[in-house]
Amino acid sequence: MLNMSHIARRYGAAVALESADLSVAGGQVMALLGENGAGKSTLVKILAGLETPDAGAIEIDGRRRRFHSPGQAREAGVGYVAQELSIVEHLSAAENVFLGDIRAGWYRSPRRIAKRARPYLDAMGLSHIDALAPAGDLSVGERQLVEIARLLSRSARIAILDEPTAALADAEIHKVENAVRTLVAKGCAVIYVTHRLREVFRLCDRVTVLRSARSFPAVDVASLDVDQLIEKMLGRRLDQMFPERARAIGEDLLVLRQAQGPGLRAPVSLAVRRGEIVGLAGQVGSGANAVLRLICGLASLLSGEMTLGGEALAPGSLRDAIARGVCFCSDDRKRDGIFAGRAVTETLSAPSLSRVSRFGLIDGERERGFAEPLARRFGLDPAHLRRKTGNLSGGNQQKAALGKWVGVDPRVLLVEEPTRGVDVGARAEIYGQLRRLANEGVPVVFASSDTQEVIGLADRFATFYQGRMVRMWNAADATPEAITRDVTHPEAAALAKDA
């Protein structure tokens, strides 16, 4: 039914897709796999009409189609459920099913809407919810199902589900799987983007793997096993960009004992020693990020304990954590990592205003003397310091976001996704700086969904899956395949028993 061939897309100098093919028949579930940055989201966004391809063709039922807007894709029968849900909380579940649909007429009695939505909600296993209750009352999984019901209500014939189960618990995943089966029974072609191999084997008929902006010919799931699939996903990658591992590891500095908080389903215990870089490997919703947020005070510790240098650590806020020397850099630098409209100097000096001011005035000399060495250290041309931070390339922006913490003389640095959206050259520089920081006695704890990055950068790392820590690894002993297994399809025995 759907045939995408030779799709290509670049953003400036970055190649998102070089040549990708994807074909799905009606009533079939096609898994779309690939590491972050392999091109998955770009490919589905093109199909959904959110992006236009630089080259290649899309054919639906033999007809060539061009989508210049999401509306056109919707008209052609393409339905897209993105990772970020588009549910309006204050509207009822029934209204969310028909959100944006003007075909339903101008008169909207709540009862009529509820009646019309009922069959779609029931088909998704949501017969127990009150169609008129606000969608904000529903759990994340239930909201996901409402969005899939929306697809059905628009008679979508091609359904794209982007990481539908990333944030869900087992019981809800079950419901989503049933929803997919319902779509299939209605003859939809389903494209299931995921990193959870268990679901691929349980639910999908065929799988297309994307790697390094190219797609591999689709294969039947039945003909594969987990190891073969992982091998396809990873391939061979250069690891010249990673610096040498730690030279000297010291005493325990940051210790978590049975710590639990939002986003974690089982308590986590780990110790970070002076001089080392510890990685937290996991995909979206795995709990890796949740651990970092617990340590830095963004999430509250609900049970267990944390210590820093032997003293109890329980920051109530980011400010408390910074005061203790625990610095946190989130994965979304545009949102809270940089000051896009201000000069790079100001981004770099923001957490260290006391250092660059005297008698309440900002001392220009001191600020320059503070920012320039910092910039140079990270490979930022000092001549660019006066530019607006937002005008730098992604890699340079990330350097600024990280660099500002180095200037604070932290005791521990916590980083989420250290090189998201960063080009290869800048990546190497960032890894080098993180290693240098660790060698200077400041341990670095980072969360990443990039297995190569975790193995290359960390001395030790913990793998996470669905809110639980799977196991601790020495990087020297680990293989990409083993890690990928842990974060996508860990054996039941390896997971901590449900407390």
Partner 1 sequence: MRKGLAAGALARPALALAVYAIFASSLPNYHTAVGVWALLDGSVLTGLVAVGVGLTMIAGELDLSVASMAALAGVLTMRLIGVGAVPAVAVAVAVVAAALFGAAQGYLISWLRINSLVFTVGTLIGLRGVALVAANETTLTLPLDQLSITDAVDGRLFVFSPLSATMLGAFALAGLFASRTIWGREIYAIGGGRAESRVAGVPQRRPIVVAFAACAAFAALAGGLMSIRSGSASPLSFDAALLEAVAACLIGGVALEGGKGGFFGVLMGLFTLRLVLSGIASLGAPFWAQNLAAGLLLIFVIVVETASAAVGRWRERAGARAAIADRGA
Partner 2 sequence: MSTVSQGARPALLHGKLARRFFWAAAAAAALALAGWTTPAFLTLDNLFVVVRAASTTGVVAIGMSYVTISGNLFALSAGQLSALLGIVYALLVRAGAGAPAACGATLVAAAGAGAAQGYAMTIVRNPIITTIAFGAVFAGIAALISGNGNIRLHNEIATWIGTMRPLRVPIQSWVFVAWALVSAFIVAKTRVGRLLTLSGENRLAAQASGLRVDRAAAFALAMLGVSCAIVAIFSVSQFSQAKADMFSGLDIDCIASVLVGGVALRGGRGSPVQAALGAALIALLQNFLLLRALPSGVRFAIVGALVVAATSGFHLLQRRER
Q: Residue 498 gets which letter from DSSP? A: P
Tell me the one-letter amino acid at 402. L
User: In whole angstroms, what is the distance from residue 231 CA to residue 156 CA?
Assistant: 34
Alpha-carbon distance of 394 to 238, in angstroms, equals 21
Footprint (CB under 8 A) of partner 2, residues 397-416: 404
- Minimum separation from the CB atom of position 349 to partner 1 (A): 30
d(CA 350, CA 348): 6
Length of the chain: 499
Q: Are 46 and 24 in contact (CB under 8 A)?
A: no
- Of residues 244, 335, 491, 497, which one binds partner 2 by CB under 8 A? 335
Q: Is 394 in the site for partner 2 (CB under 8 A)?
A: yes
Q: Binding residues for partner 1, per CB under 8 A? A: 70-71, 74, 82, 85-91, 95, 99-102, 104-110, 130, 133-134, 137, 150, 260, 262, 267, 300, 302-303, 498-499
Element (H or E) spanning 414, and its range? strand 412-416
Site string for partner 2, 38-77 (x = CB under 8 A): ----------------------------------------
Yes or no: say if 207 and 33 are a contact pair by the CB < 8 Å rule.
yes
- Say whether residue 336 binds partner 2 (CB under 8 A): yes
In sign, the C-alpha dihedral spanning 246, 486, 218, 186 is: negative
Which one of the spans 182-190, 217-225, 392-400, 478-486 is the region binding partner 2 (CB under 8 A)?
Answer: 392-400
450 is a contact residue toward partner 2 (CB under 8 A):
no
Which residues, 4 to 23, sit near partner 2 by CB under 8 A? 12-13
Among 71, 136, 341, 441, binds partner 2 (CB under 8 A): 341
Of 106 and 359, nearer to partner 1 (C-beta) is 106
Sole binder of partner 2 in the list 357, 366, 368, 471 (CB under 8 A): 357
H/E stretch holding 447 = strand 444-448
**426 lies in the site for partner 2, by CB under 8 A:** yes
Q: Strands 444-448, 412-416: parallel, antiparallel or unpaired by DSSP?
A: parallel
Kindly tell me which of 337 and 467 has the beta carbon lying closer to partner 2.
337
CB 2 within 8 A of CB 44: no
Query: Which of 115, 202 has the CB closer to partner 1?
Result: 115
Torsion angle defined by CA atoms of residues 321, 322, 324 and 329, in that order, rounded to the nearest 10 degrees: 70
Closest CB to partner 1 among 56 and 70? 70
Identify what 71 binds: partner 2, partner 1, none; CB under 5 to 8 Å per kind: partner 1
Question: By CB under 8 A, is residue 337 in contact with partner 2?
Answer: yes
Angle at 143 between CA 139 and CA 145, to 5 degrees: 120
Give CA–CA dist 438/426, Å, rounded.
19
- Ordered DSSP codes for 6-49: EEEEEETTEEEEEEEEEEE-TT-EEEEEE-TTSSHHHHHHHHTT
Interface with partner 2 includes 157 (CB under 8 A)? no
Cβ 302 to partner 1 shortest distance, Å: 5
Q: Does 238 bind partner 2 (CB under 8 A)?
A: no
Residue 474, interface with partner 2 (CB under 8 A)? no
Q: What DSSP designation does 411 have?
A: S
Report the partner that residue 107 touches, choosing among partner 2, partner 1, none (CB closer than 5 to 8 A by kind).
partner 1
Distance, in Å, from the CA atom of 368 to the CA atom of 27, rounded to the nearest integer, reads 63
As measured in angstroms, the least distance from the Cβ of 377 to partner 2 is: 12
Closest CA to 430 of 395, 383, 388: 395
* Among 108-116, 195-203, 252-260, 344-352, the segment contacting partner 2 (CB under 8 A): 344-352
| Binding interface with partner 2 (CB under 8 A) | 12-13, 318-319, 322-323, 328, 330, 335-342, 346, 350-351, 353-354, 357, 360-362, 379-381, 384, 387, 391-396, 404, 423, 425-426, 429
